[in-house]
Amino acid sequence: MSTILIRYAELGLKSRMVRRRFENLLRDNILSALAKGRVEALLHSDEGRFYVEADDVDSAVTCLRRVFGVASVSVAETCGSSMEDICEHAAAYSMSRLQPGQSFAVRPRREGTHPYTSVDIGRNAGSAIYRANENLGIKVDLGSPDVEIFIEVRGPKAFIFDTYQDGPGGLPMGTQGKVIAFVKDDRDALAAWMLMKRGCRILVSGLAHPLLQAYDPDLKMLKDDAGLFIGDDVLGVVTGLGMDDFDALKDIRFEVPVYAPLVGMDDEEIERRLKEMV
């Protein structure tokens, strides 16, 4: 069974206590996303990584790429961390991925204590891959290869993969409090999404936008006047208004801060960001 490696970036900059709290929230959000996608999976973690094992890997990856706090994911084959195991499995992995005449490079990384260096991994695994595919006329190109094979050794295990798939990054939802979003169109949805990426839980007044629902399985809709919900636990209001709506922005009055993250973006950038959300 393949293992999905989940990486985070920004969380790693926090103090140990804050990072532990954020990691717990990220774990909960990952499990919630997988449950909403009806994906049965096992989740565990160690320092700096989460790991998911699922029968339906493609569906799991789709869910994970919509969890805020996830920087990237990779579907990896696992083996032991001995050099012999790494070379054997790297060679077998490469045989279904290299085509005649292609170039390749091994990108090694290592965490923990081992009787070899990352350079040793690259050299030995690269030699094993070359020998296994020598009949194809392949060659090594460390600068601009056709195929990259990543080998990440962490403690007693090694993970072999060929692709990084981006997640939304940012902070796990729930780390930065609640914000009300007035959503009537795509621009408002994008503004709300940007606050979600900074760790906020969004309470939606108006349109139940499908893009927001895709990123928050438990998205809360407000059925009554949103102003009634503004209290100590609501830290602000977010709107999709921009510089062209400056007069409307000036007229907004709430007892909490009003966030307008699209101010300073032109229509082209807004359209590009909306496509990235899909």
Find all residues with CB under 8 Å of 13, minimum gap 6, and list them.
none
pLDDT of residue 11: 76
The pTM score is 0.89
Per-residue pLDDT of 202-222, as tens digits, reads: 999 888 899 899 999 889 888
pLDDT of residue 247: 64
Average pLDDT of span 235-251:
75
| Number of neighbours of residue 113 by Cβ within 10 angstroms | 6
What H or E segment, with its residue span, contains residue 92? helix 83-94
> Which pLDDT band, with edges at 50, 70 and 90, does 59 fall under?
very high
pLDDT of residue 158: 96
Extract the runs of DSSP E, i.e. beta strands, from 184-253.
201-206, 220-221, 234-238
Min mean pLDDT across 17-21, 211-215, 248-252 is at 248-252
> Which pLDDT band, with edges at 50, 70 and 90, does 34 fall under?
very high
Find all residues with CB under 8 Å of 254, minimum gap 6, and list them.
227, 230, 237
Cα–Cα dist 83/81, whole Å: 6
Distance in angstroms between the alpha carbons of the first and the last residue of the chain:
28
23 contacts 14 by C-beta, under 8 angstroms:
no
Cα–Cα dist 148/188, whole Å: 39
Highest-scoring range by mean pLDDT, 14-28, 102-116, 264-278: 102-116
Is 80 exceeded by the pLDDT of residue 229?
Answer: no
CATH class of segment(s) 3-77: alpha beta
Average pLDDT of span 26-36:
95
> Which pLDDT band, with edges at 50, 70 and 90, does 245 fall under?
low
Per-residue pLDDT of 107-149, as tens digits, reads: 999 999 999 999 999 999 999 999 999 999 999 999 999 999 9
Residue extents of the structural domains in the chain: 3-77, 82-155, 178-277
CATH class of segment(s) 178-277: alpha beta
Architecture in CATH for domain 82-155:
2-Layer Sandwich (3.30)
152 contacts 232 by C-beta, under 8 angstroms:
no
Q: Alpha carbon 39 to chain centroid distance?
A: 17
Distances (CA, A) of 136 to 103, 130, 201, 237, 272: 10, 9, 53, 60, 41
